[in-house]
Structure 1
Amino acid sequence: MTKKIVSKLNRRQFLRHLGVGASASLLVSQSMVNALANDDLLVTDNLTALTKDELPSAVSGSESPSQQLNQTSQCIKPTIETRLFASSNVGSHDARNQLALQRVACAGLQVQNPEVARRQYLRFAGTDAQRASDLQNIATGAISAPKLLLGVRGGYGASRLLPMVDWATLGRVMQERGTILTGFSDVTAIQCALLAKGNMSSLAGPMLYSEFGKAMPDRISCRQFVAALTDPNLTIDVDNADLTSPKLPPILADNDSRSITGTIWGGNLSVVSALTGSEYLPRIDGGIVFLEDVGEQTYRIERMLYELYLAGVFKNQQAIVFGAFSGTGEDSYDKRYDVATVVRQLHKLTGLPIYSGMRFGHIAQKASFPLGASCTINPNTAGSYQLSFADYPTIHASALHVEGLWA
């Protein structure tokens, strides 16, 4: 039942009250942003339920929200050819879309199709045909391949598009242009299909609505996003397994000093497991599987991992890397049955080394990284490890202005 509102407004009602519409790009004022940032002014109802790509996140740094929002910086001229693709949920708040578009422009991204962020059909960001056309028109040559394909948001709906895109041709066109496709969560389906059938890498990273439209984008996530876009030799250090489970060591392996090199692939566990048995799940010999998820109970995590195991997905893989498993809660039958128990069982089943605590998933302060690229995992003497990436497209650092992403 929808909660009654006394004298406060939820996000959707707040925007309607202000009459925000198609011309909102010039009307996103400081007061609106502050209001959206202040959860004390908002009442959550069944219309504003959070999806997996829109969970609350901690504000980085010690500054207050008003201090962070007031510290804007000078924008640069946008020169990086960018197109949006909206494969999943609609970005339901237009003011948030417009704020995100202003920020990415300030950071140097020249978005050529901003109208995509406002499409809607049912819960989706347009009809299946419209959403598929964001990618298929590039494959056919109807639209030139941009340098960056930026996902709008996740949620649900990308799997409906998979048979509608010529992934082999799209992958070839993207390779020729050096196009970078970025997203996570439900966009995992797009990334897996692109790698499986188009042999093309992508970037696991934040999205337009989900991150850059926040009242206070996470600065560490923004910096890591730009680092992954611009650094051809990206490295990520993992010191502990806490994001996966504080009860795990960073490395669970018979030989925890061995270096491993292979193609890293995967993404959101729920989406990867849903692709089991399809032609859109990558089949990579000697690969490194990356998995993360949010809001799934422990038994559901294990069930999805068993689905992959029983389907033979972990065969011929060299290792499994786990990112964040947040919001799992306690098992109602026995609280000892937790993520650590599940991971240890998977290690026993597969015999594969398992690396936990990778800083990526539905969390704040995430580290973006390329999927479908070469990855080397090097353990260190302290029991932690480093991931090094190679062979993926990048953008020249001078064309990006990271502060614009939170201006």
Structure 2
Amino acid sequence: MIKQPPYLKKGDKIAIVCPAKKLPKPIDHAIGILESWGLEVIIGESVYASHHQFAGTDKLRTHDIQRFLDDSSIKAIICGRGGYGTIRIIDELDFTEFEQNPKWFIGFSDVTILLSHIIAQTRIQCMHAQMPYTFEESTPEALSSLKKTLFGDKPSYQYSSEFTNRSGLVKGILIGGNLTLIAMVQGSVSEMDFDHKILFLEDVGEQEYSIDRMLRMLKRAGKLKNLNGLIIGAFNEIKEEKISFGQTAEQVIWDIVKEYDYPVCFNFPTGHIDNNLSMVLGAEVELTIDKNKVQFKYL
């Protein structure tokens, strides 16, 4: 059983931290939005810290996150941005108090390391969603999905896929995140259990061969064969290679999973896009997939 943290209510405290790269711009806009939801926003020391490309030293970032993991008055922790750096501090964090007093942990991209670790080690639900750095460019739908989920009104999603799906109706526990970071934690204590789960994947700025290589690694490790379903989010800003790989990201993925019989949908609105809809890792969901239509809801 994967535990669900308490939903937020007006007046609750939410902390912002930066576990990886430093912020290149202020996030006053995002703070204002969170405050408009009735939340008290606490700014972590890492938010405006700087150490080379990182949001402060590894020690500072670790201490900052640990402070809020241990503080029972903080009801949610949202990461300011991703980038790179979370893997440098994950093994220094102690989740003992967090397990005793679960709270929502929110982020995406490089934060996938933390989300995966929380699911694997604490079995507490967490959230793949927009971060303050991306609030300004976010669609109203994506921000609304974050607010609704935090306050206990989990939204359902419907959309049309441009790439042909493999149809089916399936239920299961949702896991997933950024493909690169999921690949990076394999073989470690931060590795999620994939069996009989609904997996969602997204990535940005990769080349087709790299997507192919990471997915084939997961396939060879047996991570893709026993899924209940597969959700493919945005694979965008793909870097052009000098010699064409000959397949789009979607074609690469389909080639690797077409031998399995579980439902697969493409172009799901999650990832490094403006319409990055909130996804609760560890929640039970139902996925209804037709050729080009997809419905997603929490159970």
With normalisation by structure 2, the TM-score equals 0.88
Of 388, 392, 395, which aligns to 2:297?
Answer: 388
Partner SS state of residue 116, structure 1 = coil
Choose 326-335 or 189-198, whichever is displaced more: 326-335
Given the superposition, is the C-alpha separation of residues 238 and 271 from structure 1 closer, same or farther in structure 2, using an over 3 Å criterion? same
Of 112, 126, 129, which aligns to 2:42?
Answer: 112
1:307 matched to 2:230? The reply is no
1:322 matched to 2:245? The reply is no
1:33-72 counterparts in 2 under 5 A? none
1:170-185 counterparts in 2 under 5 A? 170-174=98-102, 179-185=103-109
Aligned residue in 2 for 1:57: none
1:369-380 counterparts in 2 under 5 A? 369-379=279-289
Of 182, 201, 213, which aligns to 1:291?
Answer: 201
* d(CA) in 2 for partners of 1:232, 1:284: 27
Given the superposition, is the C-alpha separation of residues 195 and 288 from structure 1 closer, same or farther in structure 2, using an over 3 Å criterion? same
Given the superposition, is the C-alpha separation of residues 354 and 332 from structure 1 closer, same or farther in structure 2, using an over 3 Å criterion? farther
Runs in 1 of length 4+ with deviation above 4 angstroms? none
CA contact (8 A) 2:129 2:277 kept: yes
Partner SS state of residue 317, structure 1 = coil
Which amino acid is 2:179 matched to? L
1:7-406 counterparts in 2 under 5 A? 79-93=11-25, 96-139=26-69, 141=70, 143-167=71-95, 169-174=97-102, 179-208=103-132, 210-212=133-135, 214=136, 217-240=138-161, 242=162, 248-249=163-164, 251-252=165-166, 256=167, 258-334=168-244, 336-379=246-289, 383-390=292-299
Which amino acid is 1:222 matched to? L
Pairwise CA distance, 1:349: 4.7
Pairwise CA distance, 1:376: 1.0
Given the superposition, is the C-alpha separation of residues 349 and 134 from structure 1 closer, same or farther in structure 2, using an over 3 Å criterion? farther
* d(CA) in 2 for partners of 1:155, 1:234: 28
* d(CA) in 2 for partners of 1:126, 1:319: 39
Given the superposition, is the C-alpha separation of residues 277 and 115 from structure 1 closer, same or farther in structure 2, using an over 3 Å criterion? closer
* d(CA) in 2 for partners of 1:181, 1:196: 14
* d(CA) in 1 for partners of 2:44, 2:98: 21
With normalisation by structure 1, the TM-score equals 0.66
Deviations for 1:348-403, whole angstroms, at most 9, x for unmatched residues? 354443211110111112221211211111235x741211124xxxxxxxxxxxxx
Given the superposition, is the C-alpha separation of residues 87 and 114 from structure 1 closer, same or farther in structure 2, using an over 3 Å criterion? closer
CA contact (8 A) 2:13 2:39 kept: yes
Q: Which has the larger radius of gyration?
A: 1
Partner SS state of residue 46, structure 2 = helix
**Structure 1 portions without partners, runs of 5+:** 1-77, 243-247, 391-407
Q: How many pairs does the alignment contain? A: 291
CA contact (8 A) 1:347 1:353 kept: no
Partner SS state of residue 316, structure 1 = coil
Pairwise CA distance, 1:267: 0.3
**Root-mean-square deviation over aligned CA pairs:** 2.3
Which amino acid is 1:80 matched to? D
CA contact (8 A) 2:22 2:56 kept: yes
* d(CA) in 1 for partners of 2:138, 2:263: 35
Deviations for 1:229-273, whole angstroms, at most 9, x for unmatched residues? 234442111311x3xxxxx21x22xxx2x3211111110111111
Which amino acid is 1:296 matched to? E
- Identity in percent: 26
Bigger proportion of residues as strand: 2
Given the superposition, is the C-alpha separation of residues 172 and 180 from structure 1 closer, same or farther in structure 2, using an over 3 Å criterion? same
Aligned residue in 1 for 2:5: none
Pairwise CA distance, 1:115: 4.0
Given the superposition, is the C-alpha separation of residues 113 and 366 from structure 1 closer, same or farther in structure 2, using an over 3 Å criterion? closer
Which amino acid is 2:105 matched to? L
Pairwise CA distance, 1:117: 1.4
Pairwise CA distance, 1:160: 1.1
